[in-house]
Amino acid sequence: MAESRLEREMTVRTEQERPKSWRPAETLPEPDKQPGYAYRWVRTATLNELDQRNISGKLREGWEPVAVEEQPKFRFMVDPNSRFRDNIEIGGLLLCKTPLEFVQQRADHFADVTRKQTEAVDNNLMRQSDPRMPLFQERRSSVSFGKGT
């Protein structure tokens, strides 16, 4: 009656993989990340017209173009007629990097701008509010518990 069985750990299961399916190529490949840096594709041209204002603005913000030597996998993807020699430009977009501290400082700056604008709108509404019919509700919630019987 008793069959000789192998322990479960001793059996080998063949792994079944899902069949691989075709996917369209990515328009912009993901760069290999270096620790401490954030990457971004910056617009250099639209419809073959140079966008100097955008490029100079990003460079002043602290974004610096990434050299082909830093990302060797892009060597064959780079536009040979690029205005940015020795940098990675694909389809009018230039790969740039900046320290993560700059990214955090930028996020903090715009969070502060948003907070100040929200306060200004709220103050403007409060000025026009009447206690008999308030236009503005305070942004606080409270929890109250009923008595159990």
Q: What is the structure's pLDDT at 136?
A: 57
Q: Whose CA is closest to 58, among 88, 90, 102?
A: 102
Q: Is the dihedral of CA 107, 113, 117, 119 positive or negative?
A: positive
One digit per residue, the tens of pLDDT, for the chain of length 149 reads: 556 666 666 666 666 777 788 888 777 888 999 999 999 999 998 888 889 999 999 999 999 999 999 988 888 887 777 888 889 988 889 999 999 999 999 999 999 999 999 888 888 777 777 767 666 556 666 777 777 65
Q: What is the structure's pLDDT at 115?
A: 93
Query: Which residues, at least 6 apart from 87, have a Cβ–Cβ distance to it below 8 Å?
Result: 65, 66, 67, 68, 78, 94, 95
Distance (Å, whole) CA 47 – CA 38: 27
